[in-house]
Structure 1
Amino acid sequence: MNVPNSTISTILRKLDFDDLHDWAGAKIVNRGKNYVKHVDQLSHTEDNTLVAWVTGNDRYATSVRIGADGDFDEFCTCPYSWGPCKHAVAVILAAAEHLKVKRMIPSLDEGSDLGQTLRGDIEENEWLNGEREENNESGRTPSRTEAQTKLEETLESKSYDELLHLLIELSTRFPKVKQYIVESEQLASGHVDKLVRALRSEIRDRTAEAAWYNHWRGEGSLPDYSHVEDRLRALAEQGYVNAVLQLGEELWIKGNQQIEQSDDEGETAMAISGCLETVIAALPGSSLSPSEQLLW
């Protein structure tokens, strides 16, 4: 079978941009238009699914299953997880162009790299999720590497004065080390007001950055949320959950605004999502009632 079946053909011929906008949003659709020419090995399966490679920051395996009522169920190996991605939109538009010029869309070769990647990615996700659950149930912690063991032995062999001198030197040469030491002391002493104010300021600065990446030129600007996530987790572990929720609420509002304006492959959304997972994990320890926690 070298052409899509009647369901795919019928739906694609009736499709217009309003339908795509309703599904993915105008911004994602506009970005998807720019990726149509980067759709490769477009093919289809017997269950009304379009599949293809789409080149972005990397090469992504993308599939879009078309329902009989015209709805879409997409999957993509790109990091974007906030709804349909531009690669999925590009696959639909590429298929529509094929039909318009009466070009054949072949059936997917299940043994091809594309077929194996799409099938293997689902199996790998299932395996990883199962292993995470098994590790959590067993309570095992990752074993120390040989390098970590050697470093620990080296530090244990040094005197108090030598360790103090080493920390001072590291703090002088690496500002982030100094920041970590100061913030750790603030957490340990319970004087976290300055830390919370600094973290709120950092969230405002990070969410105000332009988030973009041009994969063709290999250049861009992606905000780094690693310190925000680390400090949110540290605050939660020390019991300052209400402060974590306040910061998380601000990150949610301003972060969504940043994501709406971003032009990357979902890296910014994933970074903010990682921070918010830490906030949600801390929620049960807050002073909110169960019903308020649910609403939050």
Structure 2
Amino acid sequence: MPDKPTLPRHFESLSWDDLVTWAGSKIAGRGRDYQRKGRVKALAVTADGGLIASVIGSERYAVQVRMDAEGILKSQCTCPYELDCKHGVATVLEYLARVGQDRPIPKADPRDEPLAWKSDDDIDGDDEDDADACGPALSRDVLAQVDTLLSEMTKADLVKMILGFVEKYPEVASELQDTVQLRAGDVAALTARLREEIREASSEPGWQDRWGGEGYTPDYSGIRDRLETLLTAGHADAVLDLGKEIIESGTNQVETSEDEGETAMEVSSSIAVLPRALSASSLPEAERLLWALDAVLDDPFDLCAALADYLGEKHASAAWNIVADALLKRLATEKFRKSEFGSAYWRDQLTNWTIHALEQAGRQREILPLCEAEAEKTDSYVRLVTRLIALERFADAERWIHKGVQATHKDRLGTASQLRDALLVVRIRQQDWPAVAILHVEEFVRSPSVQDFENCKKAAQRLDIWTIVRRTLLEYLAGGQQPWKQPEWPLPAPDKDTPQLEQRDTLPNFSILIEIAIHEKNPEEVLRWYDRRPQRPFFGYSTLDEDVATAVASYAPDQAVSIWKTLAEREIARTKPSAYHEAASYLRKAAKVMLREKREADWEQYLARLRSEHLRKKRLLEVLDTLSAEPTVKKGR
């Protein structure tokens, strides 16, 4: 039996609520299912008091968990999520279960620890060593011993050992076959085999069932390795030919996949070889750029990001000059292509790359006329106005802003909003502070929000008129009269594009009035507006109700508890496991307030009633059993 190490006592203080707070109710629930099904293997305690384990999901994943000095949990995993996943939760729960049962937990052998902790920058970066971080690396001593062993072996013994590896490991056989075919100059045979692998890898869509812990992600690692082999052997043109097939078949595969990007990542990993193939190819530099541009322009899933990066690198201005002419010709002759983002989307992207080519070729004078010509064709007014503002041509910018708003305010609200933001930039550059305040008020009238209310406050305070402006904004929300039509309005009325309330909003707007009262930390006003809002059958509850309960918990604890109970019972009525976990989050908040108010008996009585009313909902009863603030591992066990 292994020695019982010094246990990381800080983990033992954890409650189920702590795990839910850390990972979220859904992930925590899945992690608990994994632990209960015995999927956590090889659990061990590391020298620095962390945990490592192997967790069985759709694959075997290596997990490491730690708790920092401030009590914050962090985990790393070799699964696609990488950080703070269900496998990390399962590892912690398995540790707590074993401690609670007084079962021994071994110390980790440093050589077996699957992950070395990294900074956030390291985790997000493109460290080439990351691909090997999941498996044990040979130490220098072991490598030296292997080197000595191999150097002492006869050729016959080496051949015998390698042939044994070939029989045992298919990957070794495949790599040796690549080497044999390349040495024989039979590139055609290798590329034919690689095409077959591409067709096989892209034949089935990827999918993931997060609840069941199952799924399928196509493996492009072998394709990537063979592309690298071909490239190293000097066959860059062959790599590009294969790259076209990968891009086409991979795009189709990603389009039909149902996962969270795992398939796209696999396809992209192979495409990432192509920029180096372009640099080493026999194509003239301008044709290399056009090759990459065509791939990027026809890429709906951002699979060719590596090729976009290639286009952003330094290339000869003469090459960009040729590319600019080719793209300008396309704009003049090609019809609009269809796109899932709209018929003008493809042309708009082509224009952006044409502008980039002109910039790199030193032909800046042609850019502004191109932007003006394209603005009305694709509603790309923002691109034009941004350049005019950068040139400090404010009058021209304002003229195009008003023209663009008139063209887009009905069908392209986002573009119209961006143009109004651009007008705000112009007014700030001109230091016209009354106009700045009016623009913020106009935006508040169009679509009231707490952020716009705060923007109005900052602008009005600069003019020392916030008290009056605040009152007119609240009157607008409550009664519907526009601020500049109220008697005490201290600024001029809008002169153009008079704003109207968006159709999705209605007045009085009780939701925004409540949110503003919450923002201003005024619980009395929060409840005043909350109690006045209409009780329609379809109104229901939303995140606003939860925010109200939180805001008034100290001022009106009984009402806060009532709201949380109502939210929880609505989730329970959905009769879904995910809804039960959501209900538990509301009940924990209600419990916290009730215990603070010394109402422990009322809380226990309420829980008992819920159990009694829902005796047949076993999954709910399991969730209700977790509603305790006590540590998962009891002291003095």
> What TM bracket, shorter-length normalisation?
0.5 to 0.7
Quote how far apart the aligned CAs of 1:149 are: 2.7
Q: Amino acid of the residue matched to residue 188 of structure 2?
A: D
The residue number in structure 2 matching 1:20 is none
The alpha-carbon distance between structure 1 residues 129 and 175, as it changes in their structure 2 partners (threshold 3 A), is closer
Percent identity over the alignment is: 31
Q: Does 1:224 align with 2:223?
A: no
How far apart are 1:195 and its partner, in Å? 0.5
1:277 CA displacement: 0.8
Query: What CA distance in whole angstroms lies between the structure 2 residues aligned with 1:197 and 1:191?
Result: 10
- Counterparts of 1:194 and 1:186, CA distance in 2: 7
Cross-structure match for 1:256 = 251
Which residue type is aligned with residue 279 of structure 1?
L
Report the structure number with the largest CA radius of gyration: 2
Identify the structure with bigger relative contact order (alpha carbons < 8 Å, sequence gap 6+).
1
In structure 1, the residue matched to 2:282 is 287
Instruction: Describe how 1:186-265 pairs up with structure 2 within 5 A.
Output: 186-265=181-260
Whole-Å separation in 1 of the counterparts to 2:156 and 2:275: 42
2:273 is aligned to 278
What are the Cα deviations for residues 112-164 of structure 1, in whole angstroms up to 9, with x where unaligned? 769xx99xxxx7227975988xxxxxxxxx99733333222222221111111
1:179 and 2:156 aligned: no
Could you tell me which amino acid in structure 2 is paired with residue 290 of structure 1?
E
CA spacing shift, 1:128–1:150, aligned 2, 3 Å: farther
- Structure 1 runs of 4+ off > 4 angstroms? 52-56, 111-114, 126-132
Q: Contact conserved, 2:205 with 2:254, CA < 8 A, in 1? A: no
> Are residues 219 and 199 of structure 1, via their aligned partners in 2, closer, same or farther at CA, if it must alter by over 3 Å?
same
Q: Distance in 1 between matches of 2:125 and 2:216?
A: 32
How far apart, CA to CA, are the structure 2 residues paired with 1:130 and 1:236? Answer: 21
Deviation at 1:225, TM superposition (A): 0.8
> Partners of 1:207 and 1:143 in 2: how far apart?
34
Equivalence for 1:93:
none
> 1-side partners of 2:288 and 2:25: how far apart?
42
> 5+ unaligned residues in a row in structure 1: which ranges?
1-39, 43-51, 60-110, 133-141
TM-score normalised by the chain length of structure 1: 0.53
Q: Which residue of structure 1 lines up, in the alignment, with residue 356 of structure 2?
A: none
Q: 1:127 to 1:255 in 2, by over 3 A?
A: closer
Q: Is the 8 A contact 2:198 2:223 kept in 1?
A: yes
Q: Which residue of 1 aligns with 2:160?
A: 165
CA distance in 1, matches of 2:277, 2:222: 17
Cα-to-partner distance string for 1:188-215 (whole Å, 9 max, x where unaligned): 3321111000101110111112311212
Aligned partner of 2:120 in structure 1 is 124
Q: CA RMSD in A?
A: 3.6
Question: Structure 1 pair 176/128, CA: closer, same or farther in 2 (3 Å)?
Answer: closer
Once the two structures are superposed, the pairs formed by residues 19-30 of structure 1 within 5 Å of their partners are: none
Residue 208 of structure 1: SS of its match in structure 2?
Answer: coil
More strand by share: 1
CA distance in 1, matches of 2:73, 2:139: 36
CA distance in 1, matches of 2:153, 2:176: 20
Flag structure 2 segments of 5+ consecutive residues without an equivalent: 1-19, 32-70, 75-82, 85-118, 129-136, 293-637
- Determine the C-alpha separation between the residues in 2 that align with 1:229 and 1:291: 26
The 1:196–1:53 alpha-carbon spacing in structure 2 relative to 1, beyond 3 Å, is: farther
Deviations 1:224-263 (A, max 9, x none): 1111000001101111011100111110111011111112
The worse-fitting range, judged by mean Cα deviation, of 270-279 and 208-217 is 208-217
Q: Distance in 2 between matches of 1:235 and 1:147?
A: 31
Q: Tell me the number of residue pairs that the alignment of Structure 1 and Structure 2 aligns.
A: 185
